[in-house]
Amino acid sequence: MRHNHLYSIVILVALQACSGTPPRGTIERSATIGERAAPMTLERAEGLIQALSALGVDYQYGGRSHATGFDCSGLVAHVYRAAWGIELPHNAAAQAEAGSKVSVAELQAGDLVFYNTLDRPFSHVGIYLGDGGFVHAPKTGAPVRVERMESNYWVRRFDGARRFAIDTRRY
């Protein structure tokens, strides 16, 4: 039952994102994050549905599924495979090398955002949701959750963003 409710919420969020009209009562996003982003597409919305379906799943180092839990790169690899058939390495730094650089102003839903959380570049990865939010598997003892890129913690650790071409012929 919980997943049916979650999917309803995700679909409403995706539809609002496609419409370009922000939901009532939301705080305006930073003028720099996603400022020049293209509108949400149905192809990108599929990735958001996959990513948000993992909310609440426990962090597990090396995890790659809802059943085993997720670590950050495992969550990303799972979402990209399930949503778009894209096979990504199970390593944040390798994922950063494989993608094309994208500026913060051009972020689109489904792009990857990278952070230095272990005193080494590209040691953490999440999936950009839009409006400055991203979903990620943070650490042992914490479930998959949504964070704000504008928070001081994440701003200080931001390493960049990457994009992968999504094959729209699948849709």
Asked if residue 26 belongs to a domain, the reply is no
Burial of residue 80 (CB within 10 Å: 0-12, 13-18, 19+) is buried
- Choose, from 3, 66, 90, 124, the residue flagged as catalytic: 124
**Residue 118 within a domain:** yes
Is residue 170 included in any domain, yes or no? no
Question: Catalytic one among 5, 18, 78, 136?
Answer: 136
Residue 111 in domain: yes
For 151, the domain range is 2-20+33-165
Domain count, the chain: 1
Do the domain assignments include residue 107? yes
Query: β-strand 69-70 against 100-102: which pairing, if any?
Result: unpaired
Selection from 166, 161, 169, 171 nearest residue 34 by Cα: 161
- Please confirm, yes or no, whether 124 is among the known catalytic residues: yes
pLDDT attached to residue 142: 97
Given a cut of 80, whether residue 5 has pLDDT beyond it is no
Give the integer Cα–Cα distance in Å for 130 and 164: 16
What is the residue-averaged pLDDT of the chain? 84
pLDDT for 35: 77
Residue-level pLDDT at 169: 52
pTM of this prediction exceeds 0.85: no
Which of these, 103, 114, 93, lies nearest to 157 by C-alpha position? 114
Residue 111: CATH number of its domain: 3.90.1720.10
User: Which residue shows structure tokens 């949701």?
Assistant: 129
27 pLDDT higher than 70: no
Catalytic residue among 3, 5, 18, 72: 72
Is 27 among the domain residues?
no
pLDDT tens, position by position, 79-132: 999 999 999 999 999 999 999 999 999 999 999 999 999 999 999 999 999 999
Q: Does residue 28 lie in a domain region?
A: no
Here the tokens at position 141 are 């003892």
